[in-house]
Amino acid sequence: MTSSTSEALVRNQVIQKAWAEPEFRARLLEDPKAALREAFGIELPEHVRLNAVEESANEFYLVIPPPPSVVIPQAERIVMEPAAMWGSGV
């Protein structure tokens, strides 16, 4: 399973849980790093910031990743594995 596949699977698990559990959704919006740690055991490094936002029927967000010229060293990449680490934005 590739890193991007793992990321998509974990992202989908988080979204499904947020849809099913209003308390988790509220915690995710309030403190996303704590919500992931508490619900999935996912620890993010302190220097990593994570923002969670909720779209509505008429409000959407476009996330612009860093340009391809910005190479993230392998040692600093966060590879998402369920109950391990969380990678790129949700």
Is residue 7 in a domain?
yes
Return all residues near 27 (Cβ < 8 A) that are at least 6 apart. 34, 35, 38, 39
Q: Which residue has the higher pLDDT, 73 or 33?
A: 33
Residue 87 near residue 4 (C-beta atoms within 8 A) = no
pLDDT of 7 reads 84
Q: Which of helix, strand or coil describes residue 73?
A: coil
Question: How many domains, the chain?
Answer: 1
Is residue 41 in a domain?
yes
Is residue 59 in a domain?
no
pLDDT of 1 reads 62
Average pLDDT, the chain: 82
Is residue 45 in a domain?
yes
The pTM (predicted TM-score) of the whole model is 0.69
Is residue 64 in a domain?
no
Is residue 16 in a domain?
yes
Is residue 58 in a domain?
no
Residue 23 domain boundaries: 1-53+73-90
- Residues 33-68: tens digit of each pLDDT: 999 999 999 999 999 999 999 999 999 999 998 888
Is residue 65 in a domain?
no
